Structure 1
Amino acid sequence: MKRFKIRYRLSLFIIIGVLSTTLLGIMFVYRTQGLYEEMIYQQTAEKYLLYSQRMEEKMKEVDQLSLLIMADGEVQRALANIAQSHTTFNSYEYAKLLARKLAAYELSGHTVPSIFVSDQHQVIHSGGPLLEAVQPAQLKEYEGYAAPYKGASVWTGSEESGKLFVSLREVRQIEQLSLKKLGMVGIQVPAEKIVHESYNGMYRGSSALIIQAQGQTVYSDFTYDPLPVPRQPSAKGYDVITIEGEKYLVASFTLSYTGWTFIHLLPYGVIFERLREIKITLILIYSAVCGLLLCLGWKFSGSITKPLEGLTAKMAQVAKGNFIVEKTAKPDNHDEIWLLDRSLDRMTLRLNELINENYVKQMKLKEAEYDMLKAKLNPHFLYNTLDSINWLARINGQAAISDMIKALGDLLRASINSKEMNTLGEELEIIRKYIAIQQFRFEDRLVCQIEIDDRWLELSVPSMILQPIVENCIKYGVDARTGICRIHIGAEQRDQELIVTIKDHGSGDTDPAAAGSPAGGFGLTSINERLWLLYGEAFGVTLLEDADGGTTVQLTVPLPV
C-alpha cells in the first residue's frame, strides 16, 4: 500500500467509500423496514385489540338485557308457578304470560332477535321462533355451563352452526332472597352481527377472525381447517406465522370479561406489498449510484493527482537548491492545488530574496557587535577617570568635590547595571546617592525623608524604579513660595500588596508630558509598563494630586506569599 501512487490509493479509498456507503444504505433500508414493520405490527395489534374490546361491549349490552329479564317480577312469578306444577291450567296460563313477556322484550327496541327461557321441567319458552332450535341435550349442556356462575352471565357458541353466540344466565328467585333456581334465560345473537357492529362498519379487507373459548373454536371466518394458529396469546400481543406458504400477522388477545381468545389474522403481503416494491427500487437505485460514483471517482482522482505530480517534480528542483523554477501555466479552474503551486512559486522567489537580505543583515549584525564591544570599553574608561578626579580632589583637600564624584560614580554604576531586579534597600541607597549629588546644587533647600520599615528592605523590585520619580519630584516639586523641595518616601502594606509612596510638597504642578496620563510622563509610563509586564495590570504606578498642594506617586508591588 505504501508503494502505491496517490492516484491508486485515492481510487481505492473512493471505491471502499462508495461500497461502504452503499452497504450502509442497504443495511439502513432493511433496518428501517424492520422498525417500520414493528410499528405497523404494534398499531395493527392495538386496532384489533380495540375491535375485540368492542365485541365484549356488545356482549355486555346483551348481558344487561338478560339481567333485566331475570329480575323481571312477572318472569319470576311465572317461573315460580310453573315450577310448582306444569300440568295445571295455571301453569299453562303462566307459560303464555312468559311467552308474551319475552316477545315484548324482543320488540322493545333491543337489537336481540331471539330470547328463550327454560323452566325447572326442561321446557323452553320463547316469544317467537329461535334462530337455532335448542335440543334437549343441548339445553342440558347449556344448564351445565350456567350452573357454576349462580346467576351471573356466561357466553358460549353454537357448536351446530358456529354462527351464534349464546348468553346464558340462571334465573334465581329474588323474593325473600331465597335465590332458589327457577330456570335459565338464554339469548341467541348472530356472531356476524356482533363482529360487524364491532368493526363499526369499517372494511375488514382480507383479515380473518377466530374466537376460541376454553380451547374450542366458537367462531371462525378463516378458510383453512384445521386452524394452524397459536392457542395461547403472544406476550407482545402479535406474531408472524406461515400458513400454507403464506405469512400472516396474528394478533391474539384473551379478554377478561368473557375469557374468550380473539385471534385476528391479516396476510403479510396486504400490509407490506407496497413497502417491498419500494425496498427493491431503493436497492436498484443504490446499485446504479454506486457504479456512477466509481466512474466519477476515477476521473476525480486523476484530476487531483496529475497536478500533484507536477508539483512534486517542481519541489524536487527546489530541494536541490534551484530556486528559479518554471512557473505553471494558469489553469482553467483555481482550486487548492493551483493555489499551492502558485504559493510555491512565490515562496521560491521570496526565499531567493531572503537569502540576499539575510547576507546583508549578517554583515550589519557583525558591525553592531563590534560597536557594542567598543561601547563596553567606554564606561570603564569613565569609571577610571572619575576615580582619578576623586583622588585628585582628596589630595587637594576638596572633600565635598570628592564625595560628589564618588556618589556620581556609584550612581553611574547602578544606572548601567545589567541586573533586572534589586532589593528595595538597594534602590533606597541609589536614592540617597542621587540626593547627595543634588544637595550640592540645592544645599538646605532640598530635604528628603525616608521612612520605610526594615522588614521591607529585602523585597525584590525592578531596578532603577525609584530614581526617575525622585528626579521628577526635584524638577517639578519645588515650593514656589519658599523655594524648598521636600520629598517624603514611605511604604505601607495593604493585604498582599506593598504601596511605596513618593510625595513632594510643591505647587502641585506635574510634568506637562504627563497631562491626561494616570501614570505620568515618559519615565513614569515606562515604570508602569515594567510593573505590568512583571506583575500584571493589577499593579503599577498611580499619580495623585494632593488637596494641600504637591503630588504623590504610588508604586504598588506584590508581597511574597
Structure 2
Amino acid sequence: MKARNLRIKMGSGFSAILVIEAIFICIVSFISINLFYKKHTELLYNESAEVLNLYFIRVEDRLREVENLSFSILSDLTIQRHFNAINEYGDTYEGYLAQQQARSKLLYKLFLVEGIDSIEFIDNNDQIIRAGYKPKSHLERDIETIKEIAYETYGTGTWEVNLSGDGSVSFVRLIRDITKPGFKPLGILLININVDHFMSYSSVVSSEFHSDILIIAGEGLIYSAGQHPVNTKLISSDSYCPYKITAIDGVNYFVTERKTDYVDWRFISMIRCDELLADIDNLKQFVIIIFILSIAISTGIGFKFSGFITGTLVQLSRGMKHVEKGDYNVALTGLDRKIIIEEVAQLQHNFNIMAKRIDYLVNDVLKKEIKIREFKYKVLQQQINPHFLYNTLDTIHWMAQGYGLDNISNMVRSLSSMFRAALELEDIVTLSEEVGILQNYITIQKIRFEERLDFRMEIDKEYLGLLIPKITLQPIVENSINYCLEKYEGICHIRVICQKRNGWVEISVSDNGPGMDREFVGKLLSGRSKHTKTGIGLKNIDERLKLFYGDEYGITVESDRGKGTTVIIRIPTTEKVSA
C-alpha cells in the first residue's frame, strides 16, 4: 500500500512538471502565432497598398491623357476657327460646314487616346456637335447643369460622374477664344470615356487569392472589378481608413483604401479573410492538437517513470531486509538508465516534432507571401513584351516613312529609342547616354509643341564620359515642360548647361515658367507635395544621386514666383569612364 501511495504521489509530481512544461511551450507557441498574425496582416496591407497604388497611378495617368487631349483641342487654331464659325453662322449653310469640319477634327483627336467613347461640343446657342462611338443622345436636358460646372472651373476642366444619368464619366472644360483679346467663351467641351477600358484592373494576386477593386466618387460606384458583393456602407463611408476588416453578408473582407488628390475618388481593394488566413488557422488547430497530446503523454510518462522509481526503491528495501537477517549474498538489479532516458526523451521528442512542424508551417506561409509578391511584380512588369513593342514601333516607323509622315516616323523612332534605353541600359550610364535619352524625349515634345518649345543644351565633350544614374535629366526637363508649357500659353524656354564649379560638375536645367516659393520647393524635395509625380520624382532623383556619390551631392532647386525655376544637379568629376 505504501509503495502504491508513493507511486501515485511521484507520478502526480512528475506529470505536473511535464504538463507545466507542455503548457508553457504551447503558450509561447500561441504568442508566436499571434505575433506572426500581426506581422502577416502588416505585410498583407503593404502588399495590397503597393498593388492599389500602382493601379491608382495607372488610372490617374490615363485620366491625365484625356485632360491633355482637351488642352490639345482648345489650343488647336483650326478647331478654334471652326468653333467661331459655328457660333457666328448658326443654322446657316456656312454653320453646317463648320460643324462638319469641327466634327471631323474632333473625331481625329478622339483616336489619339484609347478608350474614349465620344467627344461633344456645346456652342453658345446650345447646339451639340458629337463625334465618337457612343454619343450621349439624351444630353440636352443637362446642358444648363453642364454649363454651370464648366464656368465654375474657369476653363481648367473637371471630371464629372453620371452627367447623363447613365453612370458615365466625362471631362468637362470651358473653351475660350484664344485667337482674340478677351478670351470670350466659345462653348463647352465634353470628353466621355469608356469606364471599363480606363479603369480595367488586371488582378496581380496569385490564383490562390481573389482581389476585387472598387472606384467610388462621393456615394456612387464608378467601377467594380470582381464578383464579391458591394457593401453600400462601404461606399457611403465618410471616414478614411487605410485598411480594415469589414463584414459583408457574414463574410469578413480585408479592405485597403487609397485616396487621390487629382480627382475626388476613392480606390478600394477587397480580399476575403478566410482565403488569406487559412494557413494561420490550420497552424492554430495543429498547436491545439499537439497541446492535448502533450498533456496525455506527459501524464502517462510521469506515472510510468514513478513506477520504475518506486519499484527500484521496493527492491532496495527488500534487499536491506535480507542483509538484516545476515543474508549478505544478495544481488540487487541495477537501475536501467536506458529506460529512463527513452521515457523522458519521448516527451522531448514530441515537442521537437511540434516545434519543427510549427517552423515548417510558418516558413511555408512566409514563402507563399514572398511568391505572391514576386508574382505581382512579374505580372505588372511583364505585361508588355519588349520585343513585341520594338517590332511594332519599328513597323510604325517604316510605315510612316513610306507614307511620307516624317514627324510621326521621327516621333516613333525616338520613343522606341527611349523605351530600349530604359529597359536595356544599366542603372548607371555615361552622361553621353543620358543626353541621348533626353534628346529623344525632346524630339517627341518638339513635334508635339512645335515653336512653343525652345530647348537648348550646352554640354562640352569633356563631360560626356561622366557617370550618372539613368533617367536623371529627362524627368526634370519633363517637369519644366509641365509647369512652363502645358499649363500656360506662350513660348517655353528651357536651357540645360553643364559646367565645372568648386571641384564638382553642375548640370543646370532652367525654364521661364511661373516659378515656386521656397515653402513649395521644400515640399517637393521632401516628397510632401500634393503634386505626387513631381515631388516624389525630384526626391527620388536626389536620393539616388546621394546614394551613388555621397551626401554632398544631389539636387538643389532655385525658384521664385514669376521668375522661373532652375534645378541644379551636382555630381563629382572623378566618376568617369575612359573614352
Q: TM-score, normalised by structure 1?
A: 0.51
User: Secondary structure of the equivalent of 1:251?
Assistant: strand
Equivalent residue for 2:263, pick from 233, 258, 262:
258
What is the distance in 1 between the residues matched to 2:37 and 2:166? 39
Q: Does 1:293 align with 2:298?
A: yes
Q: Which runs of 5+ in 1 are unaligned?
A: 316-323, 338-561
Contact 2:115-2:197 within 8 A present in 1 as well: no
1:404-443 counterparts in 2 under 5 A?
Answer: none
- For the aligned residue pairs, the C-alpha RMSD in angstroms reads 4.1
What is the distance in 2 between the residues matched to 1:266 and 1:40? 10
Equivalent residue for 1:241, pick from 246, 252, 265:
246
Q: Which runs of 5+ in 2 are unaligned?
A: 1-7, 321-327, 342-579
What is the distance in 1 between the residues matched to 2:135 and 2:208? 26
- Read off the aligned partner of 1:75 and give its amino acid letter: I
Contact 2:256-2:269 within 8 A present in 1 as well: yes
Cα 1:108/1:16, change in 2 over 3 Å = closer
- Name the residue aligned to 1:89: 93
Q: Does 1:157 align with 2:161?
A: yes
Cα deviation 1:226-247 (Å, max 9, x = unaligned): 7121645766511111122111
Equivalent residue for 2:289, pick from 257, 263, 284:
284
What is the distance in 1 between the residues matched to 2:124 and 2:88? 9
Q: Does 1:187 align with 2:187?
A: no
Cα 1:235/1:104, change in 2 over 3 Å = closer
- Name the residue aligned to 2:545: none
- Read off the aligned partner of 2:249 and give its amino acid letter: E
What is the distance in 1 between the residues matched to 2:273 and 2:190? 40
Q: Does 1:121 align with 2:125?
A: yes
What is the distance in 2 between the residues matched to 1:311 and 1:58? 91
- Please report how far the alpha carbon of residue 130 of structure 1 lies from its aligned counterpart in structure 2 after TM superposition: 2.5
Equivalent residue for 1:148, pick from 112, 127, 152:
152
Q: Does 1:43 align with 2:47?
A: yes
- Please report how far the alpha carbon of residue 132 of structure 1 lies from its aligned counterpart in structure 2 after TM superposition: 3.7
Contact 1:163-1:190 within 8 A present in 2 as well: no
User: Secondary structure of the equivalent of 1:126?
Assistant: strand
1:372-387 counterparts in 2 under 5 A?
Answer: none
Equivalent residue for 1:174, pick from 173, 178, 183:
178
- Please report how far the alpha carbon of residue 150 of structure 1 lies from its aligned counterpart in structure 2 after TM superposition: 1.6
What is the distance in 1 between the residues matched to 2:84 and 2:61? 32
- Name the residue aligned to 2:70: 66
Contact 1:153-1:169 within 8 A present in 2 as well: yes
User: Secondary structure of the equivalent of 1:127?
Assistant: strand
- Please report how far the alpha carbon of residue 155 of structure 1 lies from its aligned counterpart in structure 2 after TM superposition: 1.2
Q: Does 1:18 align with 2:22?
A: yes
- Read off the aligned partner of 1:123 and give its amino acid letter: Q
Contact 1:228-1:243 within 8 A present in 2 as well: no
- Name the residue aligned to 2:448: none
What is the distance in 2 between the residues matched to 1:210 and 1:152? 27
Say which is worse superposed, 245-254 or 81-90, in terms of deviation. Answer: 81-90
What is the distance in 2 between the residues matched to 1:220 and 1:334? 68
- Please report how far the alpha carbon of residue 96 of structure 1 lies from its aligned counterpart in structure 2 after TM superposition: 1.2
- Read off the aligned partner of 1:87 and give its amino acid letter: D
Contact 1:103-1:127 within 8 A present in 2 as well: yes
Cα 1:100/1:9, change in 2 over 3 Å = same
Cα deviation 1:358-408 (Å, max 9, x = unaligned): xxxxxxxxxxxxxxxxxxxxxxxxxxxxxxxxxxxxxxxxxxxxxxxxxxx
What is the distance in 2 between the residues matched to 1:204 and 1:126? 46
Contact 1:51-1:199 within 8 A present in 2 as well: no
Say which is worse superposed, 156-165 or 142-151, in terms of deviation. Answer: 156-165
- Please report how far the alpha carbon of residue 153 of structure 1 lies from its aligned counterpart in structure 2 after TM superposition: 2.7
- Read off the aligned partner of 1:266 and give its amino acid letter: I
Cα 1:194/1:227, change in 2 over 3 Å = same
Cα deviation 1:129-160 (Å, max 9, x = unaligned): 42543421223323333322222231122365
Cα 1:107/1:55, change in 2 over 3 Å = closer
Cα 1:258/1:18, change in 2 over 3 Å = same
What is the distance in 2 between the residues matched to 1:173 and 1:312? 118
- Name the residue aligned to 1:52: 56
Cα deviation 1:183-219 (Å, max 9, x = unaligned): 1222111211122267689989754433222343333
Cα deviation 1:441-461 (Å, max 9, x = unaligned): xxxxxxxxxxxxxxxxxxxxx
Cα 1:228/1:257, change in 2 over 3 Å = same
1:240-389 counterparts in 2 under 5 A?
Answer: 240-303=245-308, 329-333=333-337
- Read off the aligned partner of 1:276 and give its amino acid letter: D
What is the distance in 1 between the residues matched to 2:331 and 2:289? 48
- Name the residue aligned to 1:103: 107
Cα 1:278/1:22, change in 2 over 3 Å = closer
1:460-471 counterparts in 2 under 5 A?
Answer: none
What is the distance in 2 between the residues matched to 1:211 and 1:310? 82
What is the distance in 1 between the residues matched to 2:71 and 2:79? 12
Contact 1:163-1:219 within 8 A present in 2 as well: no
Contact 2:209-2:276 within 8 A present in 1 as well: no
- Please report how far the alpha carbon of residue 114 of structure 1 lies from its aligned counterpart in structure 2 after TM superposition: 1.8
What is the distance in 2 between the residues matched to 1:141 and 1:231? 24
User: Secondary structure of the equivalent of 1:175?
Assistant: coil
What is the distance in 1 between the residues matched to 2:244 and 2:62? 27
Cα 1:300/1:184, change in 2 over 3 Å = farther
Contact 1:162-1:218 within 8 A present in 2 as well: no
Contact 1:116-1:126 within 8 A present in 2 as well: yes
User: Secondary structure of the equivalent of 2:275?
Assistant: helix
Equivalent residue for 2:221, pick from 211, 217, 240:
217
